[in-house]
Homo-oligomer: A and B are copies of this chain.
Amino acid sequence: MTDVTTLTDSLPAGTVVTDPDILAAYRQDRAQDPDAGTPLALVRPTTTAQVQSAVRWCAEAGVPIVTRGAGTSLSGGATAVDGALMITTEKMRGLAVDTSTRTAVCKPGMLNAEVKAAAAEHGLWYPPDPSSFEICTIGGNAATNAGGLCCVKYGVTVDYVLGLEVVLADGRAIRLGGKQLKDSAGLSLTRLFVGSEGLLGIITEVTVRLLPPQAPACTVVAVFPTVADASRAVVAVTSQTRPAMLEFMDNTSINAVEDMLAMDLDRTAGAMLIAQSDAPGPAGAAEVALIEQAFRAHHAQEVFTTDDPVEGEAFAMARRVAIPAVERRGSLLLEDVGVPLPELPALVQGVAEIAEKNDVTIAVIAHAGDGNTHPLIVFDPEDTDEARRAQLAFDQIMGLAVSMGGTITGEHGVGRLKKGWLRAQLGDDALELTTTIKQALDPQGMLNPGVML
């Protein structure tokens, strides 16, 4: 095994960790890939210069690098590789809000929730809101182009990143973009790095734009007899308006969340939709009426509307805890497939058929308003046959989404778990182009090997 002494000696005491117990805690990310490797060592830099030192050491020693934020990847994007150096950006902390430009310059280890809170202190708003916003980092959000619940109206992370500092594979640190809102000078490198899943460089600073605060939202919740009714109601809403949130939960998810939170959800419902409108005044009232009408036209059994933000947040929270709630029933294979919106009913139907065919439980939650679904395949890892059937279902769902002109990942990234399907979605030529760019920027293939490609 490579000797890390020279690396350890070049960085402040405690920055390089080789304690096996600590390494074990960093081997896996939230996807809990059983095939995760064991890293050579863990580096916890606090500055860009320390990241550069570590990357240069790796380049010289021929050691691959796995970059990790908070380790909340649901697709194995931060899973350790045997013999690789794991660099976590969690200790790179600090944030400065600039109200005059409505921007925040964030070190990558700041949590999404901390960015939101710092913006709010100045009466501003950072919209992207992955369900893990309280525990995931802004650096990881940028590396994966993270989405969330409000993205249906307010866009994903890339829509907010104005500038980056990135450490390249050869150890150089470059600055891209900045605080100016509009900039078309040169190729769009900032946007290329967002969502690049650590393949092109290590993000060491993120400048995000902030919005004026969101207007108070009105929440509409409805339960439906079937998932088909609910998904058709989604399309009826989105073809007419752009709600601030439009989330979907099926019966399995509803029951899992009800087991966890006991908030009196309807356990018999086939599906539930949670919509929000933040349009102010009469426009908001009209949007709420439109949503209610679309829900009723698609057989909603009960429609509950509230402009109490606490009540509204309770339903949003119910949706956000669905993954840990369903996880109580077994191990999960997490899908992130998306389709053009009119295909949503067929996708949801197809997932049900795949569950039945493979005799596995699949709970479905979705950022339905942008066609992005999270089928959660539940299995017992001790039951090898069920685990095999779960994997079959996992592959079949990605195949189904691709056949509908959709995507294998709407917001989690390809990571390690979905790369087998990337060619089917992108096609040979676009995949080759992706590889060409990767090789041009990281000719030694040092950065996050095995992720995406």
Partner of A174, one of B187, B338, B341, B429: B429
Which of A15-23, A51-59, A97-105, A264-272 makes up part of the contact surface?
A97-105
A60 near B: Cβ within 8 Å? no
A261 at the interface (CB under 8 A from B): no
Q: Which residues of B contact A409 (CB under 8 A)?
A: 183-185
Q: Does the CB pair A433–B429 fall under 8 Å?
A: no
Contacts of A441 in B (CB 8 A): 433, 436-437
Whole-angstrom CA separation of A438 from B440 in the bound complex: 10
Alpha-carbon distance A358/B396, docked complex (angstroms): 68
Contacts of A219 in B (CB 8 A): none
B408 near A181 with CB under 8 A, answer no
Of the stretches A87-95, A279-287, A294-302, the one at the interface is A279-287
Q: How many residues of A contact B (CB 8 A)?
A: 89
- Chain B residues in 8 Å Cβ range of A436: 440-441
Whole-angstrom CA separation of A152 from B102 in the bound complex: 13
Interface residues of A in 187-224 (CB under 8 A from B): 187-189, 191-192, 194-196, 199-200, 211-212, 215
Tell me the complex Cα distance, A339–B413, Å: 33
Number of copies: 2
A63 to chain B, nearest CB (A): 23
Which residues of chain B are near A414, meaning CB under 8 Å? 184-186
Q: Is there contact, CB below 8 Å, between B405 and A179?
A: yes
Cα distance A144–B341 in the bound complex, in angstroms: 29
Query: Measured between alpha carbons, how far is A99 from B438 in the docked complex, in Å?
Result: 36
Please pick, from B155, B239, B430, the residue contacting A176 in the complex, using a CB distance under 8 A: B430
Are the CB atoms of B239 and A102 closer together than 8 Å? yes
A367→B182 contact, CB < 8 A:
yes
Q: Is A431 an interface residue (CB 8 A)?
A: yes
Distance A208 CA – B280 CA, assembled complex (angstroms): 27
Q: Within 8 Å CB of A99, what residues of B?
A: 239
Contacts of A418 in B (CB 8 A): 185
Whether a CB of chain B sits under 8 angstroms from the CB of A306 is: no
Residue with the highest number of chain B CB atoms closer than 10 Å, among A183, A199, A281, A371: A183
A180 within 8 A of B: yes
**Cβ-defined contact, B181 with A370, below 8 A:** yes
Expressed in whole angstroms, the minimum distance between the Cβ of A342 and any Cβ of chain B is: 4
A85: Cβ under 8 A from any B Cβ: no
Does A76 interact with chain B (Cβ within 8 Å)? no
- Let me know if A145 is at the binding interface, CB within 8 A: yes
Residues of chain B lying within 8 A (CB to CB) of residue A371: 180-182
Give every chain B residue within 8 A of A426 (Cβ-Cβ).
185-186
Instruction: Give Cα distance in the complex from A195 to B189, angstroms.
Output: 11
Expressed in whole angstroms, the minimum distance between the Cβ of A411 and any Cβ of chain B is 6
Q: How far is the CA of A66 from the CA of B429 in the complex (A)?
A: 23
Q: Mark A111-129, 1 if CB is under 8 A from B, else 0.
A: 0000000000000000000
Contacts of A339 in B (CB 8 A): 180
Contact of A189 among B176, B189, B242, B430 (CB under 8 A): B430
- Do B182 and A338 touch across chains, with their CB atoms under 8 A apart? yes
Q: How far is the CA of A370 from the CA of B103 in the complex (A)?
A: 13
**A434 contacts B by Cβ under 8 Å:** yes
- The reply to whether B184 and A410 form a contact with Cβ atoms under 8 Å apart is yes
Whether A238 is near chain B, meaning CB under 8 Å from some CB there, is yes
Q: Does A340 contact B (CB under 8 A)?
A: yes
Q: Assess whether A188 is in contact with B180, with CB atoms less than 8 Å apart.
A: no
- Is A108 close to B, CB under 8 A? no
**Docked complex Cα distance between A31 and B413 (Å):** 42
The answer to whether the Cβ of A147 comes within 8 Å of any Cβ in the partner chain is yes
Interface residues of A in 347-397 (CB under 8 A from B): 367, 370-372
Which residues in window 401-453 of A have CB below 8 A to B? 405-414, 418, 422, 425-427, 429-431, 433-434, 436-441, 452
Contact present for B430 and A175 (CB under 8 Å): yes
Q: Is A158 an interface residue (CB 8 A)?
A: yes
A-B contact pairs, 20 of them (CB 8 A): A101-B340, A151-B182, A155-B159, A156-B182, A168-B433, A174-B433, A181-B370, A182-B411, A184-B407, A185-B414, A186-B425, A186-B426, A186-B434, A186-B452, A187-B192, A187-B200, A187-B437, A188-B191, A188-B194, A212-B240
